[in-house]
C-alpha cells in the first residue's frame, strides 16, 4: 500500500474499517516485529500492552506507564509508513479528563487511534457502566477536537476478565457508541455469533480478537459476522515466547538443539527488515 502521510494517518486508517470486509490489525512489540509484519503484508499495526510489557520483563495488566507506552508507540510509528493504533489499556487513569489527555498525547505521538478499556487496572474489576461511558465520552470529545482524524476504540473487557456477562458488555458498547466511540470491541464474547449482535446493536465497526478459540475462525468467517477489523492482541508475541520456551526445554532439559533448526533464514529476515531501513 502507498506510504501514509506522517502528519495524518487517520483518514487512511479510518477507511480500512469496513464492516464485512475486515483488515488485520497486526500487533507488534518492537521495531523489528513491526517491520517484519509490514514487509509481509500488514496494512496497519498496533501496539500490544501485554507484548510491550513482556519486552520490559513485566507481566501484563497495568505494569506499563503512560510515558513508556507513548514512547513505545512513537517508536513503532517511526518504524514503517503504516498507520499504528495504540493499545492504551484503561487510558492510564480512572479520571475522564486524563483519558482525554491520553488521546491528545497519543495523537502527538503519531498514532492513528487508540483503544480504551473499562477495566479498573491494575485489578480486574470493571468501572461502573455510567462512569465507563463518561470516560469514553471525554476521550471522544478530545479526539474530535484534534486538528486531524483519530479513531477511538472503546473496549468492554468484562466478559474476558469475568467482571460481567455478555448482555452487560452489549449494553456497554452500545452506550460507548452513543458516547462517540468510532469502533467497539468485546474481547472473547461467548460465541462468534455474538460479534454479529455487537455490530447490529451498535451500528459501529467491530474489532474482533483472533486469539484463543477465535483464532480458529478464518477472515472470511469474521467477515460474514460483520466484523470490520481483526486484531491479534498479544497472541503473536505469545507464539514467539512459546518458541523460546520449547527451545529452552530442549536445550536445558534434553540437551538437544533441534528447535533451532526451524528458524527463519537470516537472509529472509534481513530482506524484510531492509525494506524499512533507517536513514
Closest CA to 106 of 138, 63, 77, 82: 77
pLDDT of 5 above 50: no
Say what the pTM is.
0.94
- All structural domains of the chain, each given as residue ranges with its CATH number in brackets, are 10-274 (3.20.20.60)
What pLDDT band is residue 3 in, cutting at 50, 70 and 90? very low
What is the reported pLDDT for 277?
A: 81
CA 133/CA 92 separation, integer angstroms: 16
Taking every pair of C-alpha atoms in the chain, what is the biggest distance, in angstroms?
Answer: 59
Residue-wise pLDDT tens digits, 214-242: 999 999 999 999 999 999 999 999 999 99
What is the reported pLDDT for 2?
A: 30
Q: What b-and-e string marks burial along 41-74, b requiring 16 or more CB atoms within 10 Å of the CB? A: ebbbbbbbbbbbbbeeeeebbbbbebeebbebbb
Phi, psi for 274 (deg, rounded to 5): -65, -20
Phi, psi for 116 (deg, rounded to 5): -130, 130
- The average pLDDT across 29-38 equals 98
pLDDT of 252 above 50: yes
3-state secondary structure at position 45: strand
Residue-wise pLDDT tens digits, 88-124: 999 999 999 999 999 999 999 999 999 999 999 998 8
Residues forming beta bridges with residue 230, ordered by sequence position: 24, 208
Distance from the first to the final alpha carbon of the chain: 21
Amino acid at each position: 500500500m502507498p506510504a501514509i502521510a506522517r502528519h495524518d494517518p487517520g483518514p487512511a486508517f479510518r477507511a480500512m474499517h469496513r464492516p464485512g470486509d475486515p483488515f488485520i490489525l497486526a500487533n507488534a512489540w518492537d521495531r523489528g516485529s513491526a517491520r517484519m509484519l509490514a514487509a509481509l503484508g500488514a496494512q496497519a499495526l498496533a501496539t500490544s500492552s501485554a507484548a510491550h510489557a513482556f519486552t520490559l520483563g513485566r507481566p501484563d495488566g497495568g505494569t506499563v506507564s503512560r510515558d513508556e507506552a507513548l514512547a513505545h508507540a512513537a517508536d513503532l510509528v517511526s518504524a514503517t509508513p503504516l498507520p499504528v493504533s495504540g493499545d492504551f489499556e484503561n487510558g492510564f487513569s480512572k479520571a475522564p479528563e486524563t483519558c482525554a489527555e491520553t488521546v491528545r498525547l497519543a495523537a502527538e505521538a503519531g498514532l492513528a487511534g487508540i483503544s480504551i478499556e473499562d477495566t479498573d487496572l491494575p485489578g480486574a474489576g470493571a468501572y461502573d457502566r455510567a462512569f465507563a461511558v463518561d470516560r469514553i465520552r471525554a476521550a471522544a470529545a478530545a479526539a474530535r477536537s484534534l486538528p486531524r482524524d483519530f479513531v477511538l476504540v472503546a473496549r468492554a473487557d468484562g466478559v474476558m476478565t469475568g467482571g460481567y456477562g455478555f448482555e452487560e458488555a452489549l449494553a456497554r458498547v452500545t452506550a460507548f457508541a452513543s458516547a462517540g466511540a468510532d469502533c467497539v470491541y468485546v474481547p472473547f464474547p461467548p460465541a462468534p455469533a455474538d460479534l454479529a449482535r455487537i455490530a447490529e446493536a451498535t451500528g459501529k465497526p467491530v474489532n474482533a480478537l483472533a486469539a484463543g478459540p477465535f483464532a480458529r475462525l478464518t477472515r472470511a468467517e469474521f467477515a460474514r459476522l460483520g466484523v470490520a477489523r481483526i486484531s491479534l492482541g498479544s497472541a503473536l508475541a505469545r507464539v514467539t515466547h512459546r518458541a523460546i520456551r520449547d527451545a529452552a526445554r530442549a536445550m536445558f532439559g534434553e540437551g538437544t538443539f533441534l528447535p533451532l533448526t526451524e528458524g527463519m533464514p537470516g537472509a529472509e529476515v534481513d530482506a524484510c527488515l531492509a525494506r524499512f531501513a533507517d536513514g
